[in-house]
Amino acid sequence: MIGGAAAALAPPIAAAAAAEGKTMYGLIGQMKAAPGKRDELVAILKEGTGAMPGCLSYILALDPADGDAIWITEVWTDKESHAGSLKLPAVQAAIAKARPIIAGFGHRFETTPVGGVGL
């Protein structure tokens, strides 16, 4: 779809961001849990992701090739919304709770989402 047709079918928050000329912001990253703690890490990350203003998509996925790794895929209305989310009390609490079982981070990619199913 092109231009107005795509904006007409977009969810309200994504359409509003596009109308304001904002560029969406995306992150795709791999997080590694301490051995055997992946499910616990996923549960903690799910807890802290309720209401995040500007978040269009936040997906947690298990890495089928690594039993201790997860992939996090995020789409935000803009980079500032992502930065602001890191200051939210629920997100801060999830980070503090998860920190002891995070073994490290793998690949991390910043993206500029331009559309797709759900956006």
List pLDDT tens digits, range 72-101.
999 999 999 999 999 999 899 999 999 999
Cβ atoms of residues 117 and 38 within 8 Å: no
Res. 8: pLDDT tops 70: no
Q: What is the DSSP string of 9-56?
A: HS-HHHHHHHHTTPPPEEEEEEEEESTT-HHHHHHHHHHTTS--TTEE
Does any domain span residue 117? Answer: no
Does any domain span residue 40? Answer: yes
pLDDT bucket at 10, cuts 50 / 70 / 90: very low
Does any domain span residue 119? Answer: no
Does any domain span residue 24? Answer: yes
Total structural domains in the chain? 1
Q: For residues 40 and 19, what is the distance between their CA atoms, to the nearest angstrom?
A: 40
**Predicted TM-score of the model (pTM):** 0.80
Does any domain span residue 118? Answer: no
Per-residue model confidence as pLDDT tens digits over 102-114: 999 999 999 999 9
Residue 2 phi/psi, 5-degree rounding, is -125, 140
In this structure, what CATH number is given to the domain that contains residue 58? 3.30.70.100
| Domain limits for position 82 | 4-111
Does any domain span residue 19? Answer: yes
